[in-house]
Amino acid sequence: MDGGYPLAEQHQVFSQCIKQGLFMDCEPLVQAGKFRQDLFYRLNVVPIALPPLRERRSDIPNLISHFLAKYNHELGKQLGISKEAEAILMEYDWPGNVRELQNVVERAAIFGEEELVQEDFNLTPIEFVQRETAIGLKNQNVLESIKSGEARKIANALREAKGNISEAARILGAARSTLMYRLKKFGVLAK
C-alpha cells in the first residue's frame, strides 16, 4: 500500500479493509469515500453471498459427517452420531455459523466415545434452551442431560487418573485450566 501514509497507518488501514471485505458489503463504503476504490476492485474479484447456516439446514448433516471424519482421523477414533444428537444439531440456529458447528463437533469428538449422543453436544444459548427440540424433549431437560454427561466423563477421567487433575485433563484432551473451571462449575472444587 503505497499512498504516502506512514507504514503503521498503512497496516491499520489494510487490516480494516480486509475485515470489512470479509464481513460486510463494501460498495456503499466505496461510494461514501470510506473504502479505497482500487482496493475494493482488487478484493472483489468473485463476490460470494453465502446465507447463514440456519437458512440452509440441509447442509448440516453433510457438515457433521465431514467434521466427524476429520476429527476421527486426527484423534484416531471411529465415532458415529446418534439420530437424536443429529436432530438436536439440526434444530439449533447456529449463530456462529459453520465455525460454531465445527467447534461443537470437535469438542464432542474429543470427549466422545463410539457414538456421539445428545449429551456430547454443549449447546446453551437462551433461545435454544427455551425451545422444544425436534425429538420432542424440552431443551431444559436436554441441557441437564448435557451437564450430567459432561460431569460423568470428567468423573470417569478423574477415576482413571486416580484423582490427578493434570492427568485427567490429558485423558480428556483438555487444558488443565479448562478442567479446573469445569470442576468448579460442577461444585467439585471450591470457587
Nearest to 99 by CA among 150, 170, 23: 23
Q: How confident is the model at residue 129 (pLDDT cuts 50, 70, 90)?
A: very low
Q: Which residues of 15-39 are buried (b: 16+ CB within 10 A; e: fewer)?
A: eebeebbeeeebeebbeeeebbeeb
DSSP state of 132: B
Q: Which amino acid is at 75?
A: L
pLDDT at 111: 82
Residue bearing the bigger pLDDT, 158 or 87: 87
Q: How confident is the model at residue 135 (pLDDT cuts 50, 70, 90)?
A: very low
The pLDDT of residue 24 is above 80: no
C-alpha span between 13 and 19 (Å, rounded): 10
pLDDT digits (tens, 9 = 90+) for 66-119: 999 999 999 899 999 999 889 889 988 888 889 989 988 988 888 888 888 777
How much is the average pLDDT of 10-19?
56
| Surface-to-core class of residue 106, CB atoms within 10 Å of its CB (0-12 exposed, 13-18 middle, 19+ buried) | middle
Q: Which amino acid is at 160?
A: E
Beta-strand (E) ranges in the chain?
80-81, 115-116
Q: Report residue 33 as a C-alpha cell.
A: 469515500
C-alpha span between 134 and 85 (Å, rounded): 10
DSSP state of 138: B
The full set of domain ranges for the chain reads 7-43, 78-185
C-alpha span between 115 and 81 (Å, rounded): 5
